[in-house]
Amino acid sequence: MSPSSFLIPRPSVRIIFLLQNKLVRALSIVALSSSPALGTVVLGQVETFNGGTAGFGIGGVLAANGTMVVQGSGGVDGAGDGFLSITNPNFTQFATRIIGANTPFTGDFTAVGVDAVRFSLISLNSNNAVNLRVGFGIQNSNFWVSNLSFNPIFGGGFQEFEVGFDDFTEWTPVIGGGTEAGFQAALQNVNVFQFRHVDSAAPVIRAPGAVMGSVGIDNIVFVGVPEPTTSLLVALSGLVLLHRRRVA
């Protein structure tokens, strides 16, 4: 099945919107390492939330009013596949984050070769207005939030998105000076990784935005620049799909 659509506002930061596209998902990870490494980010290692929250947590007013639950079924791979759900019944700050040096979401992104992070989102509420953005950096000193926000379509199942780390102008510094050197320093010393709500029309500031809503997160994976073999396979798959469409 071919992708439903590809939203690419700028070459440097990519959003990939896929609906259960097994072919592209498989091809995109061909050249990535799958061996786990404790306490640091690992290319190609997919967090499926089948073993718990993976260290993610909620705090502040969201912890007092909302819920974060690992659902045992209904993830990207369907029945029996878990995912992380976050629900806020009140109009308060909405965010989930992971803090610490000993997690698969932190470490030296540059040394490992991280080029982007890919993840799947599902809207769990028909009135959902959650616009999630990715945040990363050094706690309380150098923190960046993506300029792009991700709002899954209700009723569309899990939708896959991707945001790149290759252009610092596509990110907003909410703590720290905001230079390219600062961005690179944050990539090399990540100890906080976050999903947070920021309204699509609102400025990105230090505090997460307030919203009522419910979303699910699944299949978080850090990816690198595809090796030539992977790029060739993806190109060939595109030619095959084009040929099939012409024949049809």
pLDDT in tens, 22-61: 333 332 322 233 333 335 899 999 999 999 999 999 987 7
| Poorest-pLDDT segment among 83-87, 192-196, 217-221, 222-226 | 222-226
Higher-pLDDT residue of 36 and 161 is 161
Q: What are phi and psi of 206, to 5 degrees?
A: -65, -40
Residue 227: the pLDDT is: 56
Higher-pLDDT residue of 25 and 215 is 215
Give the three-state DSSP class for 33.
coil
CA 26 to chain CA centroid, Å, is: 17
| Poorest-pLDDT segment among 126-130, 165-169, 227-231 | 227-231
Residue 149: the pLDDT is: 93
What number does CATH give the domain 12-247?
2.60.120.430
The top-scoring range by mean pLDDT among 8-17, 51-60, 167-176, 199-208 is 167-176
CA–CA distances in Å: residue 13 to residues 85, 105, 170, 184, 201: 26, 19, 7, 16, 19
Higher-pLDDT residue of 238 and 226 is 226
CA–CA distances in Å: residue 200 to residues 52, 88, 120, 180: 30, 18, 19, 24
Cβ distance 76 to 53 under 8 Å?
A: no
Model pTM score: 0.77
Given a cut of 80, whether residue 136 has pLDDT beyond it is yes
Region 85-105 average pLDDT: 89
Whose CA is closest to 19, among 73, 76, 86, 72? 76
Whose CA is closest to 97, among 149, 55, 138, 148? 55
Whose CA is closest to 96, among 120, 138, 66, 74? 66
Element (H, E) at 28: helix 22-28
Residue 34: the pLDDT is: 33
At residue 103 the predicted structure's pLDDT band, cuts being 50, 70 and 90, is confident
Region 141-169 average pLDDT: 96
Strand 5-10 and strand 116-123: pairing? unpaired
Residue type for position 190: V
Residue type for position 248: A
At residue 123 the predicted structure's pLDDT band, cuts being 50, 70 and 90, is very high
Residue 85: the pLDDT is: 97
